[in-house]
Amino acid sequence: VSDDTASATSIPIGAMTVLTTALTVLLLAACEAADSVVTLDLGGSWSLSNSSMPKPVEATVPGQVHTDLLRAGLIDEPFNGTNVELQAWVALSDWTYERTFEVPASLLAKRTVQLVSLGIDTVATLYLNSKPIHQVDNMFHRVRLNVKQHLVAGTNTLRVAFKSKVSEANARAAACDNA
């Protein structure tokens, strides 16, 4: 059983906070007895992509885009020299984290199967098996969704499509100016 006290934070670089994809997800299944909770931790190995990348790179969840890009050799260390300015494109890009996972038929026999996230930073749409299941726009809200109807016995795919926080904030500010 997983301890759901984990937290997710963004890493400040210079005067800006980078696009943090702090994503911790669990699938919980519960039946009648409170002590009969089954946890499937979806943390660990995911893929990371955006529209300008020729192919996805390996990513770690919980984690964040800069760390995954650095590990893949696609950017240099953000804290060196002027790299923060050279890597501003990262915060201006939309990013997608994706992972497949196996669901045993016994899990689907449970009364409820929940997807739980302890932090998704900040503006994102969650897809389960290609169907949009939830939108978030506040990192500080935990997500707990009943997803049983979206799961299948066998292989499932969870995708989290992040919008650029910078672009989204600019669009929302412009919408206020035009109102």
| pLDDT on residue 114 | 92
pLDDT at 90 > cutoff 70: yes
* Percentage of the chain lying above the pLDDT 70 cut: 80
| pLDDT on residue 25 | 57
Q: Report d(CA 175, CA 121) in Å as an integer.
A: 22
| pLDDT on residue 31 | 52
Tell me which of 126 and 18 has the higher pLDDT: 126
Q: What is the pLDDT of residues 129-167, one digit of tens each?
A: 999 999 999 888 888 999 999 999 999 999 999 999 888
Do 39 and 24 meet the contact criterion of CB atoms below 8 Å apart? no
Q: Report d(CA 136, CA 126) in Å as an integer.
A: 8
Q: What is the pLDDT of residues 10-56, one digit of tens each?
A: 223 232 223 333 445 566 666 545 557 788 899 999 999 999 999 99
pLDDT at 60 > cutoff 80: yes
| pLDDT on residue 59 | 97
| Model confidence band, residue 79 (pLDDT cutoffs 50, 70, 90) | confident
Burial of residue 126 (number of CB atoms within 10 Å: 0-12, 13-18, 19+):
buried
Do 121 and 37 meet the contact criterion of CB atoms below 8 Å apart? no
Token pair 């931790």: residue: 41
